[in-house]
Amino acid sequence: MDITLENFETEVLRASQQVPVVLQFWAPWCGPCKTLGPQLEQLEQDYAGRFRLAKLNADENPEITQHFQVRSIPFVVAFVDGRPVDHFMGVLPDGELRAFLDRFVPPADDAAAEEEAPAEPEVPQPDPASDEELALAATVQASPGDLAARLALAEQRIARGAWEAAMDELLEIVARDRTFQDDVGRKTLLTVFEKAADQPAVVSAYRRRLSTLLF
């Protein structure tokens, strides 16, 4: 469904009162949009009517694009009951897209399909924190602006697979000073997203938090 200013209220806001609507902002010149579009179309088929995909040409609909403060595309907004409930920017792996959808798309009624669905892999637990990490954590707590200590703490947590705790520190670095060590907070976060690929829901949540800080 192609969305314009004329049908936005009917096809997105009102329609989302019946079934969740996923609205993709795109443009003909946008290469990543050409990757994400088919992914979402396939998922719309896979989810068998449990959500509705709509697309909006950002260049041709500047009023809506500006209203949602879209600064980069592809940009995706999910609507439920007539209001936006979640969003992300860029292209995501299939697992993260499904995790994004599953937060607001109702579950399938087909019990057999649920039984056949593969079990989610067990998430390994990180190793215990070392004395060095605990000391760094105390330093950061006492001096929140010590970004060097905060980065060292994040690296300790990355080394033992404590992804969420590490990403919390890296996000704080981005929020406090994007220029610190040549944007090391954001760059390290992107590396952690890859390392934590077996936890798509966690990665998706932190991607959105990073996107909020950057844009």
**What single DSSP character describes residue 6?**
T
pLDDT at 205: 86
Q: What is the pLDDT of residues 29-43, one digit of tens each?
A: 999 999 999 999 999
Dist CA 73 CA 22 (whole Å): 15
- Asked if the model's pLDDT at residue 112 lies above 70, the reply is no
Q: What is the pLDDT of residues 118-131, one digit of tens each?
A: 555 566 788 888 99
pLDDT at 214: 73
Q: Which of 3, 22, 33, 167 is catalytic?
A: 33
Q: What angle do CA 55, 18, 69 make, to 5 degrees?
A: 40
**What single DSSP character describes residue 93?**
-
pLDDT at 211: 81
In the CATH scheme, what is the homologous superfamily, with its name and number, of domain 2-106?
Answer: Glutaredoxin (3.40.30.10)
- Asked if the model's pLDDT at residue 203 lies above 50, the reply is yes
Cβ(54)–Cβ(21) under 8 Å? yes
Q: Tokens representing 80?
A: 């439920």
How far from each other are the two terminal CA atoms of the chain, in whole angstroms? Answer: 27
Q: What proportion of the chain, given as a percentage, has pLDDT over 90?
A: 72
Give the right CATH number for 131-214 from 1.25.40, 1.10.10, 1.10.150, 3.40.50: 1.25.40
Least confident of 51-55, 64-68, 103-107, 179-183: 103-107
pLDDT at 118: 55
What is the phi/psi pair of residue 65, to 5°?
A: -60, -45
Q: Which of 30, 129, 201, 213 is catalytic?
A: 30
Q: Is 45 a catalytic residue?
A: no
Average per-residue pLDDT for the chain: 89
Q: What is the pLDDT of residues 130-162, one digit of tens each?
A: 999 999 999 999 999 999 999 999 999 999 999
pLDDT at 209: 85
pLDDT at 150: 95
Q: Is 30 a catalytic residue?
A: yes
pLDDT at 116: 53
CATH 1.25.40 intervals, the chain: 131-214
- Asked if the model's pLDDT at residue 111 lies above 70, the reply is no
CATH 3.40.30.10 intervals, the chain: 2-106
Greater confidence, 109 or 172?
A: 172
